[in-house]
Chain A
Amino acid sequence: MLLEMKNVVKSFGEKQVLKGVSFAAESGKAFGLLGRNGAGKTTSIRILMDVFPCDSGEILVDGKPIDYSKVAFGYLPEERGLYPKKRISEQLVYFAELKGLCRKDAVQAVKYWLGRLEMSEYADKRLDTLSKGNQQKIQLVTALAHDPQIVILDEPFSGLDPVNAMLLKDVVKEQIAREKTVLFSSHQMSYIEEFCDSIAIINAGKVVLSGDLREIKRNYVRDRLVVVTENAEKIKRDFGDSCTEAKPGELIIRLASPDDKQSVMKRLVESYDVDELRVYEPSLNDIFVEYAGEQI
């Protein structure tokens, strides 16, 4: 299944929030939707889920306009919250039923997921008696219990301890393996890098970069070298402004042009005592800062 958003425009009052957003997410893969706060991620997600209509543009599934009665969405919103005063199993069953499961299936699914997320003991407790991280795990059940084809996770890892984060990672991997379309929205780039095959960066209502993450990285200008060395001071003095110290004993040298790579490497090896020398691989963080850093 290919889920596409094409040229979606949306205004709230006078303010145009989305200025023609397009991206595509494939099933069996995870897709990362990145952007700074207020860039238009949540609005895009809401339009995708038909919470409100877009002014123009379209949502396609396998090239055809989406039929919401046939495609099920699971959604973990960034702003978490359910009914604080109601029993956990009761409200989870209710949400699963709202999403279309019959009561029997809903009860069974909720039981399974509470077990899977190691939350079975809390089934009969009130939600507000739980810690924040545990409440988040409960909320994850509402996104997954009805076995949706498209899973949208907005900042799923924030607020989870490392053990729970590991548990969630397993669940996400399992969903991807089951041919689900997983859509991530996060500021924690490491998780996006770990899961996502393709990404789209939204800045001020526009997609400024999108595509296969590995390709993006490969095409990213390779004009920096990493130098691990004992005589950092000397190199810094000699290379001047183009050299910055990433951490003690590790320097980053920006090349005037990628073509200078060979010559600069040669010079470094010959003139200084260098322990390690390699081309700097851009992290998603670098790419994000570069593309989303400036408001357009």
Chain B
Amino acid sequence: MRQFFKILKFELTGHLKNKVFIGMTVVGVVLIAMAIFFPNIKGLFKSDGAAEDTGDLPVMLIRTEDSAAGELTKQYFAKAFPDYNVTVADGSAEDVQKRVTSGEAECAFDIAGNSYTYYVNNLSMYDVNPDTAEGVLRDVYRINVMIQGGLSEDEAGEIMSVQIEGNVVSLGKDQMQNFFYTYIMIFALYMVILLYGQMVATDVASEKSSRAMEVLITSAKPTSMMFGKVLASCAAGLIQLAAIFGSALTFYHVNKAAWGGNEIINSIFNIPVGLFVYLLVFFFLGFLIYAFLYGAIGSTVSKLEDVNTSVMPVTFLFIIAFIVVVFSMTSGNVDSTVLKVCSFVPFTSPMAMFTRICMSSVPWNEIAVSIALLVGTTVGTGFISAKIYRVGVLLYGTRPNIKEVFKAARKA
């Protein structure tokens, strides 16, 4: 046990003194600061005066066959496209096209009855103008029909803009509200495990290739070495996350006013304490189980160059778990059978169960079973890894295959 703490301390100070670690943390904090103070920074660069803004609005041209209908259409288009300076264009369709190509106008609608043609220089992937225009034209058509039916223009307008008031009360979890912080947490988990896991593998392999292992293995127990190394990198990862998220939280509280009613940002920073505890539990266990695997693999590699190819299977397993979880999250179907199964399988449960807890209502006994399975498997993986490590670190030359390693580890 004494050895374990010595190793933990030595490895952890190694991480904390590492320039890359310090650099990454500082960059993370700076980026977070920039993101959180974004409204203030944006304010600094914005020149004063809203008048200038309207002048800067891009021009949207509207060409209609008859000018009477054109006025009404323009009114509604202007309402529907507040980001554009909507202008009625006279002249032929060619003239309109020319004005768009020359850059004088950003886009144009050539409207004939219930059909339209949309002219734009480069059609962006997210251009929703045609969809909006269709809605507007439908409204205009309906209003026209109503006017022809004897209603006044105002009455028709009122019918079209009737307001419905409604309240939505979620009795379980609000997926929309929880989505963002769940996503951020899952992504943080993913990044940290991948980064630090590979670091554990590289660390073990470099101790082996520098032959420091010859002295280490005769000075300390392999279990102390494995657990010390893995827990040290876990602690380093947590410290880094704590620094980044902690500064994010502090910056947010300092700058809360600037964000005002931004619900997404507010929901991210109002993560319930209970979920935060779950996050820590799943982070800790998920990190350990993968770091043990990475460490065991690192010990079977003789050359540093081989680390990346050797850890590939574990990395793939992990990436697949991540993809399944993120797909389920974005599709909103977090109670699917796939995710339910994943939330019990130890190598996927850290992310899958955490997502389910955040975005759905999971009975406590399911959570307990999932965590128990995960704890058991993590401890088991730890000891098996230590055995593989004990055998692996002294094997030089060609990389042994999995069967050989397990056979040797069983004997050790």
Contact = CB atoms under 8 A, between A and B. Distances in A.
Given A53-B412, A98-B220, A99-B219, A77 B391 contact: no
Nearest to A77: B214
B219 A95 contact: yes
Interface string B363-402: 0000000000000000000000000001100100000000
A81 interface: yes
Contacts of A95: 215, 219
Nearest to B2: A100
A114 B390 CA distance: 31
B394 A84 contact: no
Contacts, number: 57
A26 B252 CA distance: 70
B219 A98 contact: yes
Contacts of A98: 3, 6-7, 216, 219-220
Contact of A142 (B7, B215, B220): B215
Residue from B14, B211, B215, B412 having most chain A Cβ neighbours under 10 A? B215
Given A13-B404, A51-B218, A52-B390, A81 B211 contact: yes
Given A81-B211, A83-B212, A94 B10 contact: yes
A165 interface: no
Contact of A51 (B7, B217, B408): B217
A80 B394 contact: no
B132 interface: no
- Report the interface size class on chain B: 20 to 34
A18 to B, nearest CB: 14
Nearest to A100: B2
Interface string A33-66: 0000000000000100101110000000000000
A186 to B, nearest CB: 17
B404 A79 contact: no
Contact of B394 (A46, A97, A99): A46
A52 B394 CA distance: 10
B250 interface: no
A80 B211 contact: yes
Interface in A5-31: 12-13
Contacts of B219: 95, 98-99, 142
A52 B391 contact: yes
Given A79-B211, A82-B215, A52 B412 contact: yes
A51 B394 CA distance: 9
Interface residues of A, number: 25
Contact of A75 (B215, B390, B407): B215
A139 interface: yes
Contacts of B7: 98
Given A46-B394, A97-B6, A98-B7, A73 B218 contact: yes
Contacts of B218: 46, 49, 51, 73, 75, 77
Nearest to B13: A90
Nearest to B219: A98
B92 interface: no
A52 B391 CA distance: 8
A80 B213 CA distance: 10
Nearest to B10: A94
A100 B407 CA distance: 32
Contacts of B390: 51-52
A82 B217 contact: no
Contacts of A80: 211, 214
Nearest to A97: B6
A86 B215 CA distance: 15
A53 B410 CA distance: 12
A94 B210 CA distance: 17
Residue from B3, B210, B390 having most chain A Cβ neighbours under 10 A? B210
Interface string A98-110: 1110000000000
A79 B214 contact: yes
Contacts of A46: 218, 394
Contacts of B207: 83
A74 B200 CA distance: 27
Contacts of A84: 210
Nearest to A84: B210
6 contacts: A73-B218, A80-B211, A98-B3, A98-B6, A98-B7, A142-B215
Given A75-B215, A86-B14, A98-B3, 10 more contacts: A46-B394, A51-B217, A53-B412, A79-B211, A80-B211, A83-B210, A84-B210, A95-B215, A98-B6, A100-B2
